[in-house]
């Protein structure tokens, strides 16, 4: 049994989600091989080779792989000659975009967003916005899987000494071409991996009021998130969204401010260790999952909280 | 240009699902069903492309039991021209759905297939990508903006760090994200008109697709319950609890 992990990276750094995926791979018996496909990304391969639990690194470089477009990554993965029993990638937008293509070409039913490895062919995954947990057994000869990063603790990023082998990068399909990117710049920790997350909802009223949450986040070393209502109202960019269709987070502390707690939002945060809710409506569903609830106007409570920290 | 829109009938997004006592699945009897919210967005986008003069015909397709007709009628009321129901009582996995859609695409020959990015029941987020791969087409997943040009399309995608724009050769598969548009409601006259629009039925068995399940669901359980929380009276009390009881700050 050999597992191939498809690395997520930005051509200079291995993303944290890849380390979580390697951790999931190491729960399967056999070797773990990491494929780094990209452009000018030797440093990423070096990082992968040092990671605990990695037995071998494959490096596939080509200019057309720079932006990791699904059609091209698919070709790079399919060009690998090894016989892999499992192919894993993080359930990030990168993994979700590319992996089902590979599954379809291998004629395999992918298992999405696993939260545990029960055995080499049986996995748990949430369905219905996390309101049910399904235990699924795959009868395919190869298992194609995406991994929920927050469900697997990363192993050490140091100590490994895997060999790096240069492999074929496949060929450019020209079905799609990269045009541009608009990335949200932030000095704060990444929402997906932060230990503390402060999120705002419709109750924030407008985008300027989010500055208050940013001040609170800075005091706590936290990332800032949002509910769909706050994103749709234009208070913050889309990639702040926590929920079934946004990011799934599971920090030590999640502070929900002015968020009612719709099913779709809870799906993205209810595995947080400690949940705090600040809402003036004491009937808000968020209080049903909150460890500590404060019924108070957020415009009074948040400044007080900033003051108290 | 002809557009094919794939839609799915699912448990309504506002229903709190209940796990069956025997852990074989979730309760679906007597539960409100609706069109998957992402599919509504896909239908809306197709209708807008038709209104812009880009699309000439919209074909809505659904795979499932007889009741999926209702969902297809909704799509027709929203502006689709024709509907195709691939009839089966089996619950198909995304790979089987993608293979079935591939057959429908081969029959209908659209220039674009629009799907939702995921269905809110299975939360798989696979079908569009699988279909694109099987057809050998490019894909624009998690689309929040679609611009048409001669022979190609520019798609802005919602990615983890922000937005990415790509250019796709047509034909292509596009899956919709929440921000793509605000779906309209079907008006009563349009609901009446939709009853007269063509709705073809095909038996899944006639398409000759291997739709056998590759996975077995061994059990479906409730997620672990959180222990009951407490209400605090003041910010000072909250800070004290977080510091001394929960020890998270």
Determine the pLDDT at residue A185: 87
Instruction: Supply B104's token pair.
Output: 């429908």
Residue A186's contacts (CB-CB under 8 Å, 6 or more residues apart) are: A223, A224
Q: Is the pLDDT of residue A85 over 90?
A: yes
Torsion of CA B34, B38, B41, B43, to 10 degrees: -70
| Distance, CA of B129 to CA of A71 (rounded, Å) | 10
Name the residue of chain A whose CA is nearest to B227's CA: A291
Chain B hits for A280, Cβ within 8 Å: none
Count the domains in chain B.
Answer: 1
Q: Do A175 and B172 touch (CB under 8 A)?
A: yes
Q: Which residues of B touch A139 (CB under 8 A)?
A: 214-216
Instruction: Measure the CA–CA gap between B240 and B238, rounded to whole angstroms.
Output: 5
Write out chain A residues lying below 8 Å of B17, CB-based. Answer: 128, 131-132
CATH class of A196-308: alpha beta
As a whole number of angstroms, the distance between CA B214 and CA A144 comes to 12
Among A135, A177, A273, the residue with its CB nearest the CB of B219 is: A135
The pLDDT value given to residue B106: 98
Q: What is the Cα–Cα distance from A212 to A304, expressed in whole angstroms?
A: 11
pLDDT tens-digit profile of B235-244? 999 999 999 9
Q: Do A193 and A217 form a contact (C-beta atoms < 8 A)? A: no
pLDDT for A158 equals 96
Residue to test with chain B: of A16, A87, A96, most B Cβ within 10 A: A96
- Does a structural domain hold residue B169? yes
Q: Does residue A295 belong to the interface with chain B, where contact is any CB pair within 8 Å?
A: yes
Model pLDDT for residues A186-245, shown as the tens digit of each residue: 889 999 999 999 999 999 999 999 999 999 999 999 999 999 999 999 999 999 999 999
- Alpha-carbon distance A59 to A37, whole Å? 6
Can you give the three-state secondary structure of A158-219, one letter per residue? CCCCCEEEECCCCCCCCCEEEEEEEECCCCCCCCCCCCEEEEECHHHCCCCCHHHHHHHHHH
* Shortest distance, CA A264 to any CA of chain B (angstroms): 8
Domain harbouring B30, CATH code: 3.40.50.620
Tell me the CA distances in angstroms from A178 to A8, A63, A174, B62, B113, one per residue in order: 17, 12, 10, 32, 20
What residues contact residue B206 under an 8 Å CB cut-off, 6+ apart?
none
Q: Is residue B61 part of a domain?
A: yes
- CB of B12 less than 8 A from some CB of A: no
pLDDT-derived band at A82, boundaries 50, 70, 90: confident
Which residue in A127, A140, A274 is closest to B123 by CB distance?
A127
Q: Tell me the pLDDT band of A303, cut-offs 50, 70 and 90.
A: very high
A61 carries a ligand binding annotation: no
Nearest residue on chain A to B235, judged by CA atoms? A305
The answer on whether A264 is annotated among ligand-binding residues is yes
Asked if the structure places residue B247 within a domain, the reply is: no
Residues 6+ apart with CB under 8 A from A307: none
Put simply, the answer to whether B95 touches A264 (Cβ < 8 Å) is: no
Q: Are strands B162-169 and B152-159 parallel, antiparallel or unpaired?
A: antiparallel
Average the pLDDT over A250-260 and give the result.
98
Best B139, B165, B179 member to test A by mutation, with max A CBs in 10 Å, is B139
Cβ atoms of A69 and B97 closer than 8 Å: no
User: Residue A42 — very low, low, confident or very high, per pLDDT cuts 50/70/90?
Assistant: very high
The domain in which residue B66 lies consists of 2-221
Instruction: Report the pLDDT value the prediction gives residue A55, as an integer from 0 to 100.
Output: 98
Is residue B138 assigned to a domain? yes
What global pTM score does this model have? 0.96
The residue ranges of every structural domain in chain A are 2-166, 196-308
- Residue to mutate among B242, B243, B247, with most A CBs inside 10 A, is B242
Looking at residue A186, what is its pLDDT? 86
**For residue B202, which phi and psi values (nearest 5 degrees)?**
-125, 135
Strand partners, B4: B59, B113
B147, A164 in Cβ contact below 8 A? no
Q: Is A263 annotated as a binding residue?
A: yes
Task: Assess A102–B contact: CB distance below 8 Å, yes or no.
Answer: yes
Residue numbers of chain B with a pLDDT score lower than 50: none
- Which two tokens mark A248? 């799934």
* ipTM computed for the complex: 0.96
Do A263 and B14 lie within an 8 Å CB cutoff? Answer: yes
What pLDDT is recorded for position B119? 98
Q: Which residues contact A248 (CB under 8 A, 6 or more apart)?
A: A91, A148, A149, A150, A192, A242, A267, A268, A269, A271
Superfamily designation of domain A2-166: HUPs (3.40.50.620)
Residue A265, marked binder? yes
What is the distance between the alpha carbons of residues B48 and B40, in angstroms, rounded to a whole number?
Answer: 12
CA pair distance A100, A122, nearest whole angstrom: 18
B39 burial (CB, 10 Å; 0-12 / 13-18 / 19+) is buried
Query: Does residue B246 form part of some domain?
Result: no
Q: Within its chain, how far is the Cα of A47 from the centroid? A: 19
* CA–CA distance, A154 with A297 (Å, rounded to integer): 38
Residues whose CB is less than 8 angstroms from the CB of residue B22 and which lie 6 or more positions away in sequence, other chains included: none
Kindly report the nearest CA distance between residue B95 and chain A, in angstroms: 6
What was the pLDDT predicted at A64?
A: 96
Domains A2-166 and A196-308 share a fold: yes
Chain B contact present for A12, CB below 8 A: no
* Residue with token string 């809710």: A277
**Nearest beta carbon to residue A137 from set B137, B158, B216:** B216
Q: How far is A91 from chain B (nearest CA, A)?
A: 10
């Amino acid at each position: 049994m050999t597992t191939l992990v498809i690395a997520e990276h930005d051509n200079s750094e291995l993303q944290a989600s890849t380390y979580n995926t390697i951790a999931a791979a190491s729960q399967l018996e056999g070797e773990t091989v990491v494929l780094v496909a990209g452009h000018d990304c030797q440093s990423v391969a070096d990082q992968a080779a040092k990671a605990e639990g990695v037995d071998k690194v494959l490096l596939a470089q080509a200019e057309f792989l720079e932006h990791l477009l699904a059609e091209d990554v698919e070709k790079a993965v399919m060009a690998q000659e090894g016989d892999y029993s499992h192919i894993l990638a993080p359930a990030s937008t990168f993994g979700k975009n590319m992996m089902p293509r590979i599954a379809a070409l291998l004629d395999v039913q992918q298992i999405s967003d696993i939260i545990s490895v029960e055995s080499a062919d049986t996995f748990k995954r949430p369905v219905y916005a996390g309101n049910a947990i399904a235990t699924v057994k795959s009868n395919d000869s190869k298992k194609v899987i995406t991994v929920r990063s927050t469900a697997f603790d990363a192993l050490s990023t140091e100590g490994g000494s895997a060999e790096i082998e240069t492999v074929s990068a496949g060929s450019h399909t020209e079905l799609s071409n990269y045009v541009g990117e608009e990335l949200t710049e932030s000095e704060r920790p990444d929402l997906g991996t932060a230990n503390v997350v402060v999120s705002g909802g419709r109750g924030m009223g407008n985008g300027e009021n989010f500055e208050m949450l940013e001040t609170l986040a800075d005091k706590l070393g936290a990332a800032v998130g949002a509910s769909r209502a706050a994103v749709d109202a234009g208070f913050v960019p889309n990639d702040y969204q926590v929920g079934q269709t946004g990011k799934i987070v599971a920090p030590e502390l999640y502070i929900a401010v002015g968020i009612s707690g719709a099913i779709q939002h809870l799906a993205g945060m209810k595995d947080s260790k400690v949940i705090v809710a600040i809402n003036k409506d004491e009937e808000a569903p968020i209080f049903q999952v909150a460890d500590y609830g404060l019924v108070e106007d957020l415009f009074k409570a948040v400044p007080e909280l900033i003051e108290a920290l | 240009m002809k557009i094919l829109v794939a839609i799915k009938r699912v448990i309504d997004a506002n229903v709190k699902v209940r796990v069956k006592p025997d852990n074989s699945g979730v309760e679906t009897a007597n539960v409100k069903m609706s069109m998957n919210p992402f599919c509504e967005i896909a239908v809306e986008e197709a209708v807008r492309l038709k209104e812009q003069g880009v699309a000439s015909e919209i074909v809505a397709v659904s795979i499932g039991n007889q009741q999926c007709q209702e969902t297809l009628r909704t799509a027709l009321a929203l502006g689709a021209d024709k509907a195709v129901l691939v009839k089966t009582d089996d619950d198909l996995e995304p790979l089987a759905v993608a293979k079935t859609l591939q057959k429908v695409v081969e029959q209908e020959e659209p220039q674009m297939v629009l799907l939702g990015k995921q269905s809110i029941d299975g939360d798989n987020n696979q079908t569009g990508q699988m279909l694109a791969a099987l057809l050998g087409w490019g894909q624009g997943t998690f689309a929040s903006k679609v611009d048409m040009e001669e022979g190609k399309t520019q798609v802005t995608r919602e990615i983890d760090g922000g937005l990415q724009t790509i250019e796709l050769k047509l034909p292509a598969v596009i899956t919709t994200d929440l921000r793509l548009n605000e779906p309209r409601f079907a008006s009563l006259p349009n609901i009446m008109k939709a009853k007269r629009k063509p709705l073809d039925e095909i038996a899944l068995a006639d398409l000759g697709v291997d739709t056998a399940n590759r996975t077995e669901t061994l059990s479906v359980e409730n997620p672990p319950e959180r222990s009951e929380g407490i209400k605090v009276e003041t910010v000072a009390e909250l800070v004290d609890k977080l510091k001394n009881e929960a020890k998270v700050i």
